[in-house]
A and B are shown apart, each in its own frame.
Chain A
Amino acid sequence: MNSLTTNSIIRFFVLILAQALIFNNINFLGWINPYPYVLFVLLFPVNSNRSLFIFLSFMLGLFVDIFSNSGGVHAAACVTIAFMRPPVLKFAFGMLYEHQSIKFKNTEFGNRIIYFLILILSHHLILFLLEIFNISSILLVLKKTLFSSVFTLILCILFSVLFSNRKS
């Protein structure tokens, strides 16, 4: 448990710095940026205090906001996906989640992709809706959401495979 906590703390800071210094500057094709810092929310230990989890997600988003001068858009998106995580977990993993015995590294690959995809899509949709803040450019919002989500999803899967410790 203790190593899980340290892991989460390290992940929190490393992901914020990586987002601010690397991923905000990728600008693939000029305008597509991935946001793999959501990995913190996705991989947070399941059976921990929910209020704490929501608060930490808020802080995560707020730090990214401070770095990228975007008001509170990341914070809003992070809080929302942190709040809607349990139902999504239930949808994606079914019985495993009911028994509270879920460990991400033991889950099936397909289930994990569905789980990542739903949360990343919702995160990006809220993010770009609030960032552009103009209902008349809804097509731009959807376009950005789609492309950034694919990019983020690929990076998230790569990272979760690369950095999973195999000794269980």
Chain B
Amino acid sequence: MQQIINFIIRNKTFLLFLLLFGISLALTIQSHSYHKSKFINSANFLTGGIYESASNVSDYFDLKTQNQILVEENNKLRSLLLNQADSSLSNVANIDSSFYGGRFKIQTAKVINNNYDLSKNYITLNKGEKHGVKEDLAVITSKGIVGIIDNTSNGYARVLSILNTKSRINAQLNASNHIGSLIWNGASSDMVQLIDISKFAPVKEGDTIVTGGQSSIFPQGIPIGTIESFVLDISGDTYTVEVKLFNDMTNLSHVYIVENTDANEIQQLENPTDE
């Protein structure tokens, strides 16, 4: 017993090092596995507050480009509105407004911290549980998708960016209904990869990729990017497609959080709890 205590006292720095290194290694491994990174994240009171006050200042340097983006979006929406008047679709939309208005709930949020140079990138938003933001809500901009909320605190939320090697999002070709998974290989901040597209799909360079209707997170048809190049896999069954994003992920400020109010119902239907 005496010897054990002596040993511990003699090697206390080494043991302390081992302990702390073990803790950090455990945290690292936890952050690499998908559903577990709960402890160490920037969506908490302290870091969220600091990031918010910093972004209050830095926002002013970016006002011009953000205004430009908002004007472009207004322009698009207004042309949509004006051109819709003589389309027969408008009547349907008006009659069934309860359905269109009820399925997706949208609220705006501001990006207060944005990473894009690591292999696992996250974005912090200034909306949290007290604004009704929950896990697994979609985050988009006027140009395309941004990511999925994976962690929330009272006043802040963390988004798993599409520029994260853990991210997997259901996507499809705009021209046909062939679906695949959108992943990121960590190489470039404006290219993502679409895998598992069937070899029968009409893949063409320059075509648009949109979100698929298979997931209950994203609404169908949110634009993602255009096809830059594609190769047939070694197995010969599926295409791997390089997608150039519409969104400039390095310059995000105002984003929309989209909540599918039917998500719970769909999930319950798909996974009956029989455990």
Which of A's residues lie within 8 Å of B, judged by CB? 17, 20-21, 24, 27, 30-31, 33, 50-51, 54-55, 58, 61-62, 65-73, 75-76, 79-80, 82-83, 130-133, 137, 140
Contact = CB atoms under 8 A, between A and B. Distances in A.
B181 interface: no
What is the interface of chain B mostly: helix, strand, loop, or mixed? Answer: helix
A93 to B, nearest CB: 20
B28 interface: yes
B122 A73 contact: no
Contacts of A82: 17
Contact of A130 (B28, B30, B40): B28
Contacts of A70: 28, 31, 40, 118, 120
Given A17-B50, A62-B40, A131-B119, A72 B17 contact: no
A54 B42 contact: no
A66 B37 CA distance: 11
Contacts of B218: none
Interface stretch (B18-26, B75-83, B95-103, B219-227): B18-26
A61 B35 CA distance: 23
B27 A75 contact: yes
A83 B116 CA distance: 31
B20 A69 contact: no
Interface residues on B, range: 35 or more
A20 B116 contact: no
A26 B247 CA distance: 20
Given A62-B40, A65-B40, A27 B28 contact: no
B28 A133 contact: yes
A132 B119 contact: yes
Nearest to B187: A140
**Closest CB pairs A-B (n = 7):** A71-B31, A72-B27, A72-B24, A75-B24, A76-B24, A69-B122, A71-B28
Most buried by A among B20, B26, B158, B250: B20
